């Protein structure tokens, strides 16, 4: 395998490993992918101002996020169906996160259940929940998270309906992947992935599968069931209801405006994931990092702010924190690691990002992540 030394090299390795429909499902965004691109390029508009001769012999990245001590202000965002990318699926990611001392986010749409993750990981973890049409299922998730000792809930609010991902149409994505004529060539050119896909347990949406026993047409029927569960009538009153059910740290994922940030605070949120879903939902939504300053100014120090989207470098984390965020969160970067090399690929990506952050801090003259503020921006 080619030398892997930053997130982009893992992206290239993932592209080689995965059949085209699977790679593009992971890497793609909505419509013309402006939000996807700008999430990343927006970081270039901020510049770091170093402070020289400040004794940077010891650098501390440890912080407290959502009530838990973590090794660095970096979270692994919830992503659905990791089984598509590697047969060790969410187990590999959760174990890598625990080893690195980082928070892991498990998706409702995961191919591993709340209980299975709790069995393999004692690390800090949050469950990404939706307020579904079937409120009974949402309540059931809350109870299961309490029983499985999850540390936080993360409510995704930017999925009133699915975004328009045109790469899925171009490459003929099906769930589960089908070895049809159209995709046969791309599957044949990825023997490692294809063999492991066929020889290991198949993709199942483990958190919801018990609800849809009656469905006969496999995961496609299950996907339809879950999509039908997205409730477009949800409002901030429902968020207050969820907060009262959970009573623990509650992150609202998908907020971008200061007005919504204030509503989230009023509804009982303890943290916000400032996010446009990695550019996969609303096209031309603002870049996540550009929303930090106005939201921090509006909410003061009451809410923890997490920048989710476009983080590809340790210096991006430093910039987000200097702007007023408490942490960053990553989706595709760890998925690239997972696809390229399973658990060890995820571990490598996390180590690279943390060591990049430490190098950035050393060169900036910043000993402790908690010291990062506007004075480090030019
Ligand atoms: C393949 C994939 C699946 C995702 N699935 C979910 C999901 O099930 N729930 C959710 O809230 N966000 C989901 N997301 C969005 C991520 O949580 C996160 O917001 C996004 O990946 C951040 O952008 P980044 O990939 O640039 O880091 C998914 C993202 C990707 C790439």
> pLDDT tens for residues 217-230?
566 666 777 788 89
83 Cβ inside 6 Å of ligand 1: no
Tell me how far apart the alpha carbons of residues 17 and 336 are, in angstroms, rounded to a whole number.
Answer: 10
Q: Where are the beta strands (DSSP E) in the chain?
A: 63-65, 68-70, 74-76, 103-107, 125-129, 152-156, 250-255, 271-275, 304-308, 327-330
Best CA proximity match to 256, nearest among 229, 221, 201, 295: 295
Tell me how far apart the alpha carbons of residues 67 and 64 are, in angstroms, rounded to a whole number.
Answer: 6
Q: List, in order, residues 6 or more apart from 36 with CB less than 8 Å away.
A: 28, 29, 30, 278, 279, 280
Tell me how far apart the alpha carbons of residues 187 and 312 are, in angstroms, rounded to a whole number.
Answer: 28
The count of other CB atoms within 10 Å of the CB of residue 158 is 18
Pocket test for ligand 1, best of 41, 80, 82, 253 (most atoms within 8 A of CB): 80
- What pLDDT, on the 0 to 100 scale, is given for residue 226? 76
Question: Ligand 1 atom 15: the closest Cα is on which residue?
Answer: 277
| Coil, strand or helix at 124 | coil
- What pLDDT, on the 0 to 100 scale, is given for residue 34? 98
Residue 276 CA, closest ligand 1 atom number: 19
Quote the percentage of the chain above a pLDDT of 70: 97
Residue 309 CA, closest ligand 1 atom number: 23
Tell me how far apart the alpha carbons of residues 21 and 172 are, in angstroms, rounded to a whole number.
Answer: 6
pLDDT digits 0-9 by tens, 236-288? 999 999 999 999 999 999 999 999 999 999 999 999 999 999 999 999 999 99
Tell me how far apart the alpha carbons of residues 39 and 308 are, in angstroms, rounded to a whole number.
Answer: 9
Best CA proximity match to 358, nearest among 71, 95, 45, 40: 71
207 Cβ inside 6 Å of ligand 1: no
Q: Decide if 154 contacts 331 (C-beta within 8 A).
A: no
Largest CA distance in the chain: 67
Q: Decide if 131 contacts 237 (C-beta within 8 A).
A: no
277 Cβ inside 6 Å of ligand 1: yes
308 Cβ inside 6 Å of ligand 1: yes
Question: Ligand 1 atom 4: the closest Cα is on which residue?
Answer: 79
Question: Ligand 1 atom 30: the closest Cα is on which residue?
Answer: 79
Q: Decide if 114 contacts 207 (C-beta within 8 A).
A: yes
**Confidence band, pLDDT 50/70/90 cuts, at residue 214:** very low
- In the reported structure, the alpha carbon of residue 365 is separated from the centroid of ligand 1 by a whole-number distance in angstroms of 33
Residue 40 CA, closest ligand 1 atom number: 26
- In the reported structure, the alpha carbon of residue 278 is separated from the centroid of ligand 1 by a whole-number distance in angstroms of 6
Residue 26 CA, closest ligand 1 atom number: 1
29 Cβ inside 6 Å of ligand 1: no
Tell me how many degrees the CA angle 346-352-358 measures, rounded to the nearest 5.
140
CATH class as words, domain 7-376 = alpha beta
341 Cβ inside 6 Å of ligand 1: no
**Confidence band, pLDDT 50/70/90 cuts, at residue 175:** confident
**Confidence band, pLDDT 50/70/90 cuts, at residue 212:** low
For the entire predicted model, the pTM comes to 0.97
**Active-site residue numbers?**
277
Mean pLDDT for the chain?
95
Residue 109 CA, closest ligand 1 atom number: 8
Residue ranges covered by each domain of the chain: 7-376
276 Cβ inside 6 Å of ligand 1: no
Question: Ligand 1 atom 19: the closest Cα is on which residue?
Answer: 277
Q: Is 213 exposed, middle or buried (0-12, 13-18, 19+ CB in 10 A)?
A: exposed
290 Cβ inside 6 Å of ligand 1: no
The yes-or-no verdict on residue 95 having pLDDT over 60 is: yes
């Amino acid at each position: 395998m080619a030398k892997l030394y930053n997130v982009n090299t893992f992206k290239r390795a993932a592209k080689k490993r995965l059949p085209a429909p699977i790679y593009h499902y992971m890497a793609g965004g909505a419509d013309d992918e402006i939000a996807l691109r700008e999430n990343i390029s927006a970081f270039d508009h901020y510049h770091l101002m170093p402070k020289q001769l400040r004794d940077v012999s010891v650098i501390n990245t440890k912080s407290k996020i959502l009530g838990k001590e973590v090794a660095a202000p970096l979270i692994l965002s919830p992503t659905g169906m990791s089984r598509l990318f590697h047969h060790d699926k969410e187990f590999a990611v959760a174990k890598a996160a625990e080893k690195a001392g980082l928070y892991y986010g498990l998706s409702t749409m995961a191919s591993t259940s709340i209980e299975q993750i709790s069995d393999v990981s004692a690390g800090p973890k949050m469950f990404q929940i939706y307020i579904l049409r079937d409120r009974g299922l949402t309540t059931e998730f809350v109870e299961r998270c309490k029983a499985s000792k999850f540390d936080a809930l993360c409510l995704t609010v930017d999925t009133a309906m699915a975004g328009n991902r045109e790469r899925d149409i171009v490459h003929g994505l099906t769930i589960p992947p089908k070895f049809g004529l159209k995709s046969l060539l791309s599957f044949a050119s990825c023997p490692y992935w294809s063999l492991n896909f066929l020889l290991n347990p198949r993709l199942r949406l483990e958190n919801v599968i018990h609800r849809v026993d009656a469905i006969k047409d496999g995961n496609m029927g299950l996907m339809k069931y879950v999509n039908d569960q997205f409730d477009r009538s949800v409002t901030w009153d429902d968020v207050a209801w969820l907060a009262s059910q959970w009573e623990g740290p509650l992150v609202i994922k998908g907020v971008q405006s200061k007005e919504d940030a204030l509503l989230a605070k009023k509804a009982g949120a303890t943290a916000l994931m400032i996010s446009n879903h990695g550019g996969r939902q609303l096209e031309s939504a603002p870049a996540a990092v550009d929303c930090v300053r106005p939201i921090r100014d509006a909410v003061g120090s009451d809410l923890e702010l997490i920048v989710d989207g476009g983080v590809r470098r340790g210096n991006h984390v430093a910039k987000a924190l200097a702007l007023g965020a408490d942490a960053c969160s990553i989706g595709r970067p760890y998925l690239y690691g997972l696809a390229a090399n399973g658990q060890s690929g995820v571990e490598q990506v996390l180590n690279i990002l943390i060591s990049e952050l430490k190098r950035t801090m050393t060169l900036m003259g910043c000993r402790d992540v908690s010291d990062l503020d506007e004075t480090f921006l030019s």
